[in-house]
Structure 1
Amino acid sequence: MIGENRIVTDELKTAIDRVQSTGAVVSIATGRTLTPALRIARESGAAGPVICFQGAMTYEQESNTTVRHEMLGAAESEIAIKTMSRVVSELMMFLGNDVWVEKRSEWTDGYGQRMGVDIRDTDSLLEMSDRRPTAIVGVGDPEIIEPLVHDLHSRMNGTALVTHSLPMFCEVEAIGAGKDLAIESLTASLGIDQQSVIAVGDGKGDQSMIEWAGLGVAIEGGHPDAVDVSDLVIATPEQSGLVNFLNDLVDRRMFVGSNSL
């Protein structure tokens, strides 16, 4: 949405405002935690509910309330912690607004600063497995993470969602997470039908929502799986791809006469 420089341009803010002026809902959907997700939503002016943690949480900005929160059970948390702790250099538990770690490092401290979240220390993540975390994330070299994702997926056997949004991340969330399920739940609550949903993304974690939406849009150079399931591919943010796409939708009056997300 915002490109490598993480800057929300004035052109994008204007395009989002134009879309919202038609009555359409514009929501941010991200794998990030709530704090940075809200920051991007507010900087961009996207006023719709914020979907974060790969779809595990949906937060209503207008009322400042969490309207959907899928959390891991003790058994799934235990499997994730035991399996990942054997192979990854960093292991994080996302609980409430904090990130818990057994071993604090320069990387985890930097992550906390970048994301705007507190890093907290514990002697044992395993002993916290019954605390219903939102996510457990392992961080390591891509050549380690990829087979780990497949191993965990097999071990979970459909009891948890194992995602791989970035090459160095192995993320485990509740089975009810996933951006597609989050958007499906949100649109049902807003009375918006599936065919009126437009989803735009570039990552592996965006694949499910791009495939689910009535119009799934990938970004040029994005993850091959996201591109493969898309109905349309647009230019990168640096080339004003999203700005031009949104303005074109408004100019063609694509939102007139129906609720859209």
Structure 2
Amino acid sequence: MGLLRLVAIDLDDTLLYPDRTISPRAKRAIGAVQRLGSQVVLATGRMFCAAKPFALELELTGPLIAYQGALVKTVAEENIWRHLHIPAGQLVQLLEWLEAEPVHINLYVDDQLYVEQMNSTAERYAKYSRVEVKEVGRLSRLPFEAATKVVAIGDPDRLSDLQIRSQALFGPALAINRSYPHFLEFGHLEATKSQALAWLGEKLGIGPAAMMAIGDGENDLDMIEYAGIGVAMGNAPAVIQAAADFVTATNDADGVAIALEKYFNLTP
């Protein structure tokens, strides 16, 4: 195995403990990887503003992959390197279709979160992600020309049916995936973590063979398969673990740190 020059790490249920903190062991491992000259990049479905505090805690200043790959933006300078949008025509059609379904809708535009009404779902999301939520009424009537991402939140079984139907309607034009059983996410067709890594690798001169990707969910599968070393968390579903080169410990047992220690020959 050659030198790993870039490590992409998912946040929720991967790097973060259940209480949404980063362990001292993980911090030490990430710092050691950076001192060896490898780039560490957080790759998350979160908003940039919700992910940035964790990057700063880890003293990461370079690019951060947010919104499942729709946005690549530097932490220190906040320079946008890549930003993919859902075009207006598709956006209005998608919002109108979702508004006829029994789901809560999150609309993300310019790193702001908009909802139709501030219900219990929106309140829980705001508390979990530590972001501001703007209540604006019916989303499909807003004058936005494009959006970064749309998320339908609801019953997992209902969303499974909705996912099948949405693939038939929007699959050829949009990226559709599940970050959680109760989250169904819609973005630009190229807004996936693997495509963001490919774009970033081309910009930085780093091929997939020199990359490691660590994740736990359906939305991490493509980057785990893309990277030269794909690592699945011990708490990941079986299908994710089956695709990985290495299955590490769970997120609450320092799985990220264990993987970095293994492949970079670090002392715990």
Structure 2 length-normalised TM: 0.89
Measure how far apart 1:144 and its partner are.
0.7
- Match of residue 45, structure 2, among 31, 35, 55: 31
C-alpha spacing 1:157/1:167, structure 2 compared with 1 (3 Å): closer
Unaligned stretches of 5+ residues in structure 2: 1-14
- Match of residue 153, structure 1, among 164, 167, 178: 167
Does the 8 A contact of 2:217 with 2:236 survive in 1?
A: yes
- Match of residue 54, structure 2, among 40, 45, 66: 40
Give the SS at the match of 2:184: strand
Give the SS at the match of 1:222: coil
C-alpha spacing 1:123/1:188, structure 2 compared with 1 (3 Å): same
Cα distance in 1 for partners of 2:102, 2:221 equals 25
Measure how far apart 1:130 and its partner are.
4.4
Partner residue of 2:111?
97
- RMSD between aligned residues: 1.8
1:220 corresponds to 2:237: no
Cα distance in 2 for partners of 1:61, 1:89 equals 33
Cα distance in 1 for partners of 2:252, 2:131 equals 28
Unaligned stretches of 5+ residues in structure 1: 253-261
Partner residue of 1:237?
251
Partner residue of 2:141?
127
Which digits, 9 at most, give the CA deviation of each residue in 1:28-57, with x for residues without a partner? 001111112111212233444110111111
Structure 1 length-normalised TM: 0.91
- Match of residue 5, structure 1, among 19, 24, 30: 19
Cα distance in 2 for partners of 1:239, 1:138 equals 31
Does the 8 A contact of 2:105 with 2:150 survive in 1?
A: yes
The amino acid of 2:52's aligned partner reads L
Partner residue of 2:127?
113
Cα distance in 1 for partners of 2:253, 2:123 equals 33
Cα distance in 2 for partners of 1:15, 1:123 equals 45
Measure how far apart 1:122 and its partner are.
2.3
Does the 8 A contact of 1:3 with 1:237 survive in 2?
A: yes
The 5-angstrom pairing of residues 49-128 of structure 1 reads 49-128=63-142
C-alpha spacing 1:230/1:129, structure 2 compared with 1 (3 Å): farther
Please identify which structure carries the higher strand content.
2
User: Which of structure 1's runs of 4+ aligned residues deviate more than 4 A?
Assistant: none
C-alpha spacing 1:235/1:185, structure 2 compared with 1 (3 Å): same
Does the 8 A contact of 2:231 with 2:259 survive in 1?
A: no
Give the share of equivalent positions with the same residue, in percent: 26
Aligned length in residues: 253
